[in-house]
Amino acid sequence: MLILSPKLLDDALNISEQAGKYLVDFYQKFKESSVNVEHKLDNTPVTEVDLYLSQFLIEKLTALTPHVPILSEENCKIPLAERSLWDEYWLIDPLDGTQQFINRTDHFAVLITLVQKQKPVLGIIYAPILKTVYYAMQGFGAYKKVGDEVIKLTTQSFPNNRVIKIGVGAESTKQKVQPLLNPNYQYEFLIYGSCGLKSGLVSDGTCDCYVRLGSTGEWDTAPAEVLLAELDGGVFDFQFQALTYNQKEDFTNPNFLMVSNKGFDWQKIFKFN
């Protein structure tokens, strides 16, 4: 198995930044003309950008670690019988927030995660238009880099006795979440772009939590698992159980809650049942 080291993290960060440069070029091209958009079976959009970046990341990660398999959102038709034999693998989403890319919100990212023994251990969320990257590695801490400034992230305080800030993806999600909340607290909602970027907002304290209703894949949450684990945060389903990785035939996550500090009693805030 790969040894977690600063060099491995730096190499993976460099690959994410190279992919980000292509993403910026595609974004400019999309502005000037158009990018071909198709829809998958689940009705989510996929573009030539997703497919190009997927192939690029697979080639670069294969060159970096030739014996480590790679699972991409755009290349995931590998049966569980085969995947279950993997001790480790790279899990990537070449364009997290395809709809955000199409809508030109700037809120999209490249996601790269290394998973060892079914646990994410190295995670990168790179938003090239925002010039922001969140990254973490097990036992090495969690960081946010904006431009050339690197900030070491720290565990967030409990949201006791103040407004609880909740990240969601859309106004419609906000309407669905409000009835699940304990009315004895005050809440503030932030509607923001891709899944990866909302998890970044939880890790840096912009939001106390992020609630997701609806379909996501394991590649969407995997880098956040590493970031938040380094910060005493976490990711849970609505029964407050941990999410799983590479243990099912498909890669669909349940509805989930990401929290900046898992020491807080979130079950008194969210009445999911």
Give the pair of three-digit tokens for residue 95.
Answer: 């364009």
Tell me if 98 is assigned to a ligand binding site: yes
Tell me if 93 is assigned to a ligand binding site: yes
Tell me if 220 is assigned to a ligand binding site: yes
Amino acid at 13: L
Tell me if 73 is assigned to a ligand binding site: yes
Tell me if 41 is assigned to a ligand binding site: no
The answer to whether 176 and 213 are in contact (CB under 8 A) is yes
Whether the CA torsion 159, 164, 167, 172 is positive or negative: it is positive
| C-alpha–C-alpha distance, residues 33 and 30, integer Å | 5
CA-only gyration radius of the chain, Å? 18
DSSP one-letter string for the chain: -PPP-HHHHHHHHHHHHHHHHHHHHHHHHHHHS---EEE-TTS-EEEHHHHHHHHHHHHHHHHHSTTS-EEETTB----HHHHTT-SEEEEEEEEETHHHHHHT-S--EEEEEEEETTEEEEEEEEETTTTEEEEEETTTEEEEEETTEEEE--PPPP-TTSPEEEEESSHHHHHHHGGGB-TTS-EEEEE-S-HHHHHHHHHTTS-SEEEE-S--BHHHHHHHHHHHHTTT-EEEETTS-B--SS-SSS-BPPSEEEES-TTS-GGGTB---
Annotated binding site for Mg(2+): 73, 93, 95-96, 220
Annotated binding site: 73, 93, 95-98, 220
Annotated binding site for substrate: 73, 95-98, 220
